[in-house]
Amino acid sequence: MTKLPSIGQPVSRLEGRQKVTGSAKYAGEYNVSDLLYGYVVNSTITKGKITAIDTSAVKALKGVEAIFTHENRPSTAWFDLQYADMDAPPGTVFKPLHDNKIKFNGQPIALVVAQDFETARYAATLIKFEYEEEAFITGLVTNLDKAHEPKKGLATMLKPPPPPPVGDFEKAYSCAPVKVAAQYTHATEHHNPLEMYASTVVYEGKGKLTIYDKTQGTINSQLFVANVFGLHYKDVRVLSPFVGGGFGSGLRPQYQLFMAVMASLELKHNVRVTLDRSQMFTFGHRPQTVQNLRFAADAEGNVTAMNHSGIGETSSYEDYAEILTSWSHMLYPAKNTLFEYDLVSLDLPTPIDMRAPGGVSGMHAIECMMDELAYELKMDPLELRLKNYSETDPSTGKPYTSKALKQCYLEAAEKFGWDKRNPQPGSMQRGNKLVGYGMATGIWDAYQFPARVQVILTKEGKLILHNATTDIGTGTMTVMTQVAADEIGLPLEDITFDYGDSKKPFSMFQGGSAITSSTGVAIVAVVKELKKKIIKKAKGIKGSPFSDIKDEDIIFKDGAIALRSNPELALSFKDIMTLIKETELKAKKMAGPDVLKLKNYSKATHSASFVEVEVDKELGTITVTRAVTAVAAGRIINPKTARSQVLGSMIWGISKALHEETILDENLGKYMNANLGEYHIPVHADIHDLDVIFADEKDELINELGIKGVGEIGLVAIPAAIANAIYHATGKRINSLPIHFDALL
Amino acid sequence: METNTTHTTSLRVNGADYRLDVLPWVSLLDALREKLNLTGTKKGCDHGQCGACTVLADGKRVLSCLTLAVMKDGSEITTIEGIAQNEQLHPLQKAFIEHDAFQCGYCTPGQICSGIGMLKEGRAHTREEVAELMSGNLCRCGASKGIIDALMEVKEGGGYE
Ligand code: FES
Ligand code: FES
């Protein structure tokens, strides 16, 4: 049995056994009876119209049940609004099979449904489409002249435009004694969770559906399906107990869901649609970006002026925005700032948030610029950060609810051995390798969304919690159980956290590193409510020793209530339930951030990463031999799962800096490496010594639990730290990610 | 499609005998997942590029997505569902839980089957060699450290037979 308090203990994942024995079921693995298989056909042109469709070859095929195209699709909702999911950017949402227009290469244009997977897949290759092609643009760098200000909409609330200028940047920059400027470019990236998108739709009859969907938001998918197909919300149930990774790609319902539901309703049948790996490159990505920065400092190293102008890509139909250029002023107190952010509309699918969206791309540029500034000042890069350290948020003038970034810098530097660094580029060597040390800062928001939780105390004295959230591999189920355990005083074994089901009380989608605080705070609130009920019931029992005791003199411990002054005098939950003759006690509660209090503060998680690289002198190959990341994210509920989150994001950082890139052929308007053989992510042999430190950060203001979330912060500082280490090793500034060996030759 | 005649294929999977009538183009992976409902074996690419579909065929690790079911007629297949012995987890499964060698868990069955096969091959002696020989198994969640830690623990403890 686990000991309490459970918070702070490295509890192993409670679903671990299911994951290591193969019994964990993912969306495309519910083998319900009479299942039909759908396979999607995608456009091979980038822009234009479908002029003719020939399905004759398919119709002759045994086992094919139906073919859906824009010509014969059943009627669905007409209005954009009904297609808009919780994460839809301003604009007109993409509606699969809506009409004959092609907006991007790989656009889903047909669905074949057959009795088995192989037939569906084969049939999908036999449909012939004729197109009328139109001119298109897909490259960002070649179309910067078409940049426009992002449209505003609901999503702007979570992603505000950069703050207005402060002081006079141009003047301050032109007279500054020390200044640097550079341009940074980033390649397209695709999330590529290892599980491919899948929906298994169970047709229950009478307009009722049960859907196993790969998503980061069960309620988001539920609302989407109900709105688009005109069903009652309560008739659509979306389940996602296990999700094989998301990284942001599941923040919006993907097209396999639309396809599977459409076919199921039309054929009155159970239907599954699973995407293949190449189709995983057809519905959203981390956008290409181009960023221009100019930073200036006085002779002592105080940053005086910062300009960060960024351009991102979006689609022709929605204005997807990131927070790309607003970060530097949340860290460094320059008196003159100028931040801009624009978009270029391209004939590609709308980008979708990908782990630390905007933050990791923006901070790569900012922290490389700071490194250049340090060299210009002949100052140690860490010293420059400390010199410009601000306890408050310079961009708002407000204090942070907590900020243990300084500890991050110092503890990580110490562990890494930063003091052994010779600042001279190219000065450190090991055999035929150049060795470089680099460091960078990370910052990410500390979001909290409203969430509702229901709790039930059973007659056995056990606790069941209900919430619609998913667990995309973050450890949510384990962590939520720990939070409840401490609040009620029950061992983990007696608590069930039931999740991944749209029928359960509200949760936002799982994104922005927000679920632990969102659902966690709601759990604390609802369990408190339940405790009141338990006390009231216990007091009402005839001859109860608690009748005259004040509530605050009663404690919850080991599955019982007890007298604070004499814990021996206790009554177990089980006994209470027996005595009151009830089968269960329930409470339900909504909780959200304390907006009134928090409006006087800024909130953020911080990190510092220190990286060692080796660069082969002849071959230019780059290896990250060591990396240390210190994270300040408030209280850490579970150091084991939190550490995995940070390690995973550090590997994402290595990948962004050195490996992954979706290669776009601008002449074809098409991604050329849409498979896992050519879309490189780090393999085990690429990963060496990684270390994680959690700074001791007490935050009494952010929320009841003092937590901020760790899903993204570990990624933010790594790419810049690697680029800076490469400079230190080679004397070359490579500002375009990913950095491949050829850039160093 | 001229080859639409099914072939009777005998497979011994996790100790149980099956006779399947499969079309020649059905992969071992799809046969396991769709026909035998053994969905523990995962599909991450269907092209031999990710390792999620790794199973043990006659004791050797193979990519079941690149293997046609008919090719394995008469073979003994062990999938992730057959690794634990009557509720008793294999030492590598335990080590995976202990080292938090997964997040989403989707690559995990492949990593474990591949790990068991790799240890049996006896080619890896150092941590670097283990990492190298496990590099056909991608983990998008970035659980590499835990995975290699778990493998090293079991390798050094010798409990992988
Ligand atoms: S599914 Fe077989 S290697 Fe990816
Ligand atoms: S645990 Fe998610 S892919 Fe490895």
Q: Give the per-residue pLDDT at A81.
A: 77
**Nearest residue, CB atoms, B112 vs list A20, A640, A681:** A20
Q: Give the per-residue pLDDT at A480.
A: 97
10 Å CB burial of residue A157 (0-12, 13-18, 19+) is: exposed
CATH of B91-157, one of 3.30.420.40, 3.40.50.720, 3.40.50.150, 1.10.150.120: 1.10.150.120
Distance A190 CA to ligand 1 centre (A): 18
**Ligand 1 binding residues, C-beta < 6 A:** B 43-46, 48-53, 63, 65
pLDDT at B159 over 70: no
**Nearest residue, CB atoms, A640 vs list B81, B100, B136:** B100
B148 near A CB under 8 A: yes
* Domain boundaries for CATH 3.90.1170.50 within chain A: 27-135+193-276
B142 near A CB under 8 A: yes
pTM: 0.97
Mean pLDDT across chain A, nearest whole number? 96
pLDDT tens digits, A89-117: 999 999 999 999 999 999 999 999 999 99
Segment A433-448 mean pLDDT: 97
Atom of ligand 1 nearest to the CA of B51: 3
* Interface touch B106/A277, C-beta < 8 Å: no
The residues, ordered by sequence, that sit 6+ positions from B81 with a Cβ below 8 Å of its Cβ are A21, A22, A23, B14, B38, B40
CA distance A116 to chain B (A): 9
Q: Which residue minimizes the CA distance to atom 4 of ligand 2?
A: B139
CA distance A198 to chain B (A): 11
Q: Where are the domains of chain B?
A: 7-82, 91-157
How does residue A513 score in pLDDT terms, banded at 50, 70 and 90? confident
Distance B140 CA to ligand 2 centre (A): 5
Distance B86 CA to ligand 2 centre (A): 26
Q: Give the per-residue pLDDT at A155.
A: 83
Which of A148-157, A192-201, A526-535 is predicted least confidently?
A148-157
**Ligand 2 binding residues, C-beta < 6 A:** A 194, 245, 473; B 102-108, 139-141, 143
pLDDT tens digits, B87-104: 899 999 999 999 999 999
Distance CA A685, CA B144 (A): 9
Q: Give the per-residue pLDDT at A86.
A: 85
pLDDT at B160 over 60: no
**Nearest-Cα residue of chain A relative to residue B92:** A20
pLDDT at B4 over 60: yes
Cβ contacts (< 8 Å) between A118 and chain B: which residues?
23, 25-26, 30
CATH level 3 topology of A449-592: Aldehyde Oxidoreductase; domain 4 (3.30.365)
Where in the sequence numbering do the catalytic residues of A fall? 712
pLDDT at A171 over 70: yes
pLDDT at A214 over 80: yes
Distance CA A659, CA A653 (A): 9
* Domain boundaries for CATH 3.30.365.10 within chain A: 143-189+285-447+600-744, 449-592
Rg (CA), chain B: 16
Atom of ligand 1 nearest to the CA of B65: 2
Distance CA B111, CA B124 (A): 15
pLDDT tens digits, A558-585: 999 999 999 999 999 999 999 999 999 9
CA distance A31 to chain B (A): 7
Q: Give the per-residue pLDDT at A75.
A: 87
CATH homologous superfamily for the domain B7-82: Beta-grasp domain (3.10.20.30)
Distance CA A311, CA A289 (A): 6
Distance A33 CA to ligand 2 centre (A): 29
Q: Would you call the peptide bond into A5 cis, given omega within 30 degrees of 0 as the criterion?
A: yes
Determine the straight-line distance between the first and last CA of chain B, rounded to whole angstroms. Answer: 45
> At which residue do the structure tokens 């979570």 appear?
A158
User: For residue B51, which ligand has an atom nearest its CA?
Assistant: 1
Please name which of A292, A290, A295 lies closest in space to residue A374, comparing C-alpha atoms: A295
As its CATH architecture, domain A143-189+285-447+600-744 has: 2-Layer Sandwich (3.30)
Q: How many CB atoms sit inside 10 A of residue A160's CB? A: 11
pLDDT tens digits, A119-156: 999 999 999 999 999 999 999 999 999 999 999 988 88
Distance B29 CA to ligand 1 centre (A): 9
pLDDT tens digits, A625-647: 999 999 999 999 999 999 999 99
Rg (CA), chain A: 27
pLDDT tens digits, A694-724: 999 999 999 999 999 999 999 999 999 999 9
How does residue A8 score in pLDDT terms, banded at 50, 70 and 90? very high
Mapped onto helix, strand or coil, the DSSP state of residue B50 is coil
How does residue A338 score in pLDDT terms, banded at 50, 70 and 90? very high
**Nearest-Cα residue of chain A relative to residue B37:** A31
CATH of A27-135+193-276, one of 3.40.50.720, 3.90.1170.50, 3.40.50.1970, 3.30.565.10: 3.90.1170.50
pLDDT tens digits, A372-392: 999 999 999 999 999 999 999
Q: Give the per-residue pLDDT at B161.
A: 45
Is residue A105 within 8 A of residue A46, CB to CB? The reply is yes
State how far the alpha carbon of A154 is from the alpha carbons of A89, A238, A457, in Å.
Answer: 7, 24, 39
Q: Which residue minimizes the CA distance to atom 3 of ligand 1?
A: B48
State how far the alpha carbon of A275 is from the alpha carbons of A45, A108, A280, in Å.
Answer: 19, 11, 7
Cα diameter, chain B: 53
List B residues 115-134 in contact with A (Cβ-Cβ < 8 A).
128, 131-132, 134
List A residues 213-272 in contact with B (Cβ-Cβ < 8 A).
242-245, 247
**Nearest residue, CB atoms, B138 vs list A28, A31, A681:** A681
- Of B28, B30, B49, B114, the one to substitute when testing ligand 1's pocket (max ligand atoms within 8 A of C-beta) is B49
pLDDT at B2 over 70: no
pLDDT at B26 over 70: yes
Q: Give the per-residue pLDDT at A300.
A: 98
Is residue A470 within 8 A of residue A476, CB to CB? The reply is yes
Q: Give the per-residue pLDDT at B3.
A: 56
Q: Please give the helix or strand (H or E) that residue A612 lies within, else none.
A: strand A604-616
pLDDT at A398 over 60: yes
- Cross-strand pairs, B127: none
Distance CA A509, CA A28 (A): 20
How does residue A60 score in pLDDT terms, banded at 50, 70 and 90? confident
How does residue A729 score in pLDDT terms, banded at 50, 70 and 90? very high
**Nearest residue, CB atoms, A26 vs list B106, B140, B143:** B106
Indicate which of A12, A21, A354 best probes the interface with B, i.e. most B CBs within 10 Å of its own CB.
A21
